Each structure stands twice: as structure tokens, then as C-alpha cells.
Amino acid sequence: MIRISRFREFVKRFIPQHQRRRLSRIVQHLNRIFQRFTVGYVRWPQSLLVFDSSIELCGHEGLIDALKKAGAQCKERGQSILISSLSEIKKVSISLASEYPHAFDLEIFPEICMEVTRGVHNNGFATELITPDMVDTLQMRMLVSNILSTYRIAPRIYDVLRLRCGQSYYFALVIEHLEGGVPNVEKGLEFVSKIKRIIEREGLVVQRGVVDAALGLLPPNFGGKILEDASGNCYLVDCSDLTLKKYDKTMMDYLDSTRRLAQMSDSEIPRRPNFYYQSIPFLEPAGKRDMSSRVGFLEGMLERNGYVFDRSKVLDIGCNIGMFGAYMLHKGAGWYTGLDQPLVVDGGRRILYYGGYSRFDLIASNLLVDDVNCILPTHEFDLVLFLAMREHIGLPEWLPSLSYKFLLYEGHVTESIEESLEFLTQNLPNIRILEEAIWTERDSSCRPVVLCEGLDV
Ligand SMILES: C[S@@+](CC[C@H](N)C(=O)[O-])C[C@H]1O[C@@H](n2cnc3c(N)ncnc32)[C@H](O)[C@@H]1O
């Protein structure tokens, strides 16, 4: 295999600078053509969590009866059943109630059983092709609602999960908990025109007819789909009739428009004029760091030391566009929290949504000045990632006060393993070194990597 560094040397030596730019454009164009054929393939689908239900799962009517018998209050919403408070959700599944770091509602779909869920990708028995199969599914509803949530006009959907009782499975959505009522006609109509503008901008379409009639958003009660909260913000609480029509094109256009946000480009490299720091393996765009090989290396180190991915809680300090999150969620993590600069996390959040990921928070922060303890939704983690960050932020003051089982550290290319060990042991008194290694990949020279165990704070 030709090493990229050799190729780079060759190009610098034999191709004049003005020709390199042209070559870069040609390579970029060829890459785009290649992506058109490969974009739909999800290599790291988010794992589907399964929770045991303490209530017998037996069709729509049967489920309502069983919920009533268990004293769990619920509301019928068309084909689904909505359970809105944590105390009621606990009656269905105790482990589920404590899994997510935000207040949520549970919407159960008794009619969606295994046979008709071919479109629900990421479930291990259906398909990994997301482009056509996501249409009309809970996954698509999750994607649309999450895209609209970036404008704060729809709730976030934190997950699509399976509830299991004996041999039966039901699908359910974990939806951000919102409280409020129907807005007045004037406010509701104003909100509908706002939604229409955003829907058009985002390349979303309704299945039939024009937006307000097809979505049932007509006054006076707007189909019960618009909710105004106590601060006067309105939300479209049911996005089930909306779909992203040109899924791959929208996604690739978005990547093109945001590439500059997360780039760490080397204009000497004859690939793209700008490319991401982290490559995006599930969409193919290139990056300075090759995520596929990186995660393979880190995973080996974690597994050798007894790390359990399943339902783990991960914090990534300086997460860039969140590609470690994508991988952790693929491996079964319960929740991923990433911290980085505002523009970078805005880009990353979208990319993760487009990739079908939902169990995460990407939080904007200036890690040099913010007290991160005040902005984190939880403070206990199974794994903290501190990768290629020392040069940027040193060791943040708040890091020693976090509680974690494992901390994975990656140093910079100029750093020796001895320097890394000294840096860690001097700054973090509550750790034990488990394993150290030297890592090298495509565009990046050798870097020290250290896995530590977190001792009680
Ligand atoms: C070398 S990259 C490492 C990214 C990631 N940890 C990885 O290993 O792939 C450094 C990251 O730190 C972020 N960063 C640098 N200074 C920062 C700051 N003051 N606050 C928040 N993020 C910062 C950058 O946006 C970038 O994503």
C-alpha cells in the first residue's frame, strides 16, 4: 500500500503548486462521484437498545388495559400510546427510566412489530441501507424531529428502542419532555408559516398536499400537534408526516457547506482544498485522522482491560465532530457527551443526526475558560476520552473532579510516552496506568496513547 506521506512528498517534489490545486479539484470531483454511490451505506449504525418491560405486551387495546391495571397513566395518540412522566415510565421498565440524562416521554407503537419494521435500520436484522429504507419509519421521524430541534421548533427524539416482554417486542420513541398547551390562533398561524419556511430550507416534504393541511395544522387546535410552552415557544410535537426526500444529496450538500467549520486542512495535500480533522467513515468524506483505524486500535486497548461498551456513558473532551461518539453508540453505549467549540459541535450534531445517531449531547464550550461541571448533564462516566487535546487546552482544572472508570489519553505527535505518563500522573492523582502504546496512522505520525483506570474521587 502506498503511504500518504510518501505520496505527499512525491507530489511536493514533482508537481508545481498551481498544478497541485488543479489536481486537488480533480480528485475532489472524483471523490464526489464516488460518494454518490456509497453514501447510503451506514458502517457504524447506532445500536438498538432493548429494555425489559414489566407489562405484558399484547396489541393496542391489550396494552392500554395492561397499563391501566399497572396504574400507569397513558394517552392514546393515533396508533401510539404516550406515557409522559418518569414515575409512570418506571411502571413499564425501571432500567429504561434511569437510562437517559434528560426528562423524556415514552411513545409506544404496539402495531409496529418485527415483521413490518424492515425500514427501521440499525436493528441488526433488517438492512444497513438508510437511504430508501428510512422513509416512513420511526427512524425517519426521529431524524426529522432532531433536525427541527436544532431550530428549537420540535422536541428532540433521544432514541428508538425496543421493549421486550417474553417473545414480544414493541418499538418505542424516547421523546424530550415538553409541557404546555395549544397556542392561540394568531400565534399558531405565525408558527405554521415559520415551520413552512424551515421545512423548505431543510429539504423536508410532506407525504401529501400542502404543509398545513397535510400535517393537520389548521386552527383552532392545529391538530393537537403544536404546543406552546410557558416561555411562549412553540413546538411541532409530531413530525411523523414529514420526510427527508433527497436524503443523500441533502446530507452531502450539508457536509460541503460545513466542511470549513471542522477542517484542519493541509492545502499541500492534493485531495480536497478543505477536509475534516476526523474522517467520517459512515459517509466516506476524508479527514486528517483516519477514524476507522483509530477506533480499532482504541477498542482493542479498552477490551483488553475489561471495558464494557454496553450501556456505557462516555465523555469526549474536545470531541470535534463526534466520530468517537458514532462508534461508541454503534458498540452499544447508552449515552455520549461531547464538548467542543460552538461551530464545530453545531456541525457535528447535524452529521450525527444524518447518520441516524440520537443518544448524545454535543455541548458548545470554551474548554479553556468554562467550568464544565456546570454544563454537563451528568458527572459520572464509564469512559472519558482526552485525545489530542493537551496542546490545545492543557489539563482542565475541572477534570480531576469528574468520576470515571477509564480515561483514555492520546498525546501529540511531538510527545514521548514518558512525557505523557509524567503529565498524567502529576496532574491526575486519582488514576492508575493500565496500558501504554504508540500509535501511528495514515497522515499522522507516532502518538503516545495511555489507558488509565479512574480511582474514586
Ligand atoms: C486536535 S483536535 C482533537 C479532536 C479529537 N479529540 C480527536 O482526537 O479526534 C482538537 C479539538 O479541540 C477543539 N478545541 C481546541 N481548543 C478548544 C477550546 N478552547 N474549547 C473547545 N474546544 C477546543 C478543536 O475544535 C478540535 O476539535
| DSSP string across 125-149 | SS-SB-TTTTTTSHHHHHHHHHHHH
Q: Which residue's alpha carbon is at the smallest distance from atom 4 of ligand 1? A: 320
User: What is each CA distance from 200 to 49, 210, 302, in whole angstroms?
Assistant: 33, 12, 44
Q: How far is the CA of 191 from the centre of ligand 1 (A)?
A: 37
Check if the beta carbon of residue 316 is closer than 8 Å to that of residue 325: yes
Q: Is the pLDDT of residue 338 over 90?
A: yes
Q: What 3-state class would DSSP assign to 42?
A: coil
Q: Is the pLDDT of residue 410 over 90?
A: yes
Check if the beta carbon of residue 384 is closer than 8 Å to that of residue 313: no
Please state the pTM of the whole predicted model.
Answer: 0.86
Q: How far is the CA of 266 from the centre of ligand 1 (A)?
A: 17
Q: Is the pLDDT of residue 124 over 60?
A: no
Q: How far is the CA of 294 from the centre of ligand 1 (A)?
A: 16
- Which tops the pLDDT comparison, 379 or 214? 379
Q: How far is the CA of 92 from the centre of ligand 1 (A)?
A: 41
User: What is each CA distance from 303 to 80, 299, 309, in whole angstroms?
Assistant: 40, 6, 9
Which residues, in sequence order, are bridge partners of residue 80?
77
Q: Which residue's alpha carbon is at the smallest distance from atom 22 of ligand 1? A: 340
Residues with CB under 6 Å of ligand 1 are 277-278, 289, 318, 320, 340-341, 344, 365-368, 387-389, 392-393
Q: Which residue's alpha carbon is at the smallest distance from atom 16 of ligand 1? A: 392
The CA-based diameter of the chain, rounded to the nearest angstrom, is 78
**Per-residue confidence at 345, pLDDT binned at 50, 70, 90?**
very high
* DSSP string for residues in 296-352: HHHHHHHHHTT---TT-EEEEET-TT-HHHHHHHHTT-SEEEEEE-HHHHHHHHHHH
Determine the average pLDDT of the residues in 41-61: 81
Q: Which residue's alpha carbon is at the smallest distance from atom 11 of ligand 1? A: 318
Q: How far is the CA of 341 from the centre of ligand 1 (A)?
A: 7
Cβ neighbours around 391 below 10 Å, total: 11
- Which tops the pLDDT comparison, 137 or 106? 106
Q: Is the pLDDT of residue 13 over 80?
A: no
Give the lowest-confidence range in 51-65, 218-232, 343-357, 384-398. 51-65
- Residues 136 and 268: their CA atoms lie apart, in Å, by 44
- Residues 288 and 262: their CA atoms lie apart, in Å, by 11
Q: How far is the CA of 340 from the centre of ligand 1 (A)?
A: 6
pLDDT (0 to 100) of residue 263: 55
**Per-residue confidence at 279, pLDDT binned at 50, 70, 90?**
confident
> What ligand 1 atom has the least distance to the C-alpha of 410?
8
Within the chain, how many helices (H) and strands (E) appear?
14, 19
pLDDT (0 to 100) of residue 316: 98
Q: How far is the CA of 164 from the centre of ligand 1 (A)?
A: 40
Structural domains of the chain sorted by starting position, each given as residue range(s) with its CATH number in brackets: 4-38+261-454 (3.40.50.150), 50-176 (no CATH), 185-236 (no CATH)
- Residues 276 and 274: their CA atoms lie apart, in Å, by 7
Q: Is the pLDDT of residue 144 over 90?
A: yes
Q: How far is the CA of 31 from the centre of ligand 1 (A)?
A: 26
- Best residue among 320, 351, 408, 413 to mutate for probing ligand 1's pocket (most ligand atoms within 8 Å of CB) is 320
Alpha helices in 39-107 (DSSP H): 59-69, 86-92, 94-97
Check if the beta carbon of residue 360 is closer than 8 Å to that of residue 275: no
Q: Is the pLDDT of residue 281 over 90?
A: no
Q: Is the pLDDT of residue 5 over 70?
A: no
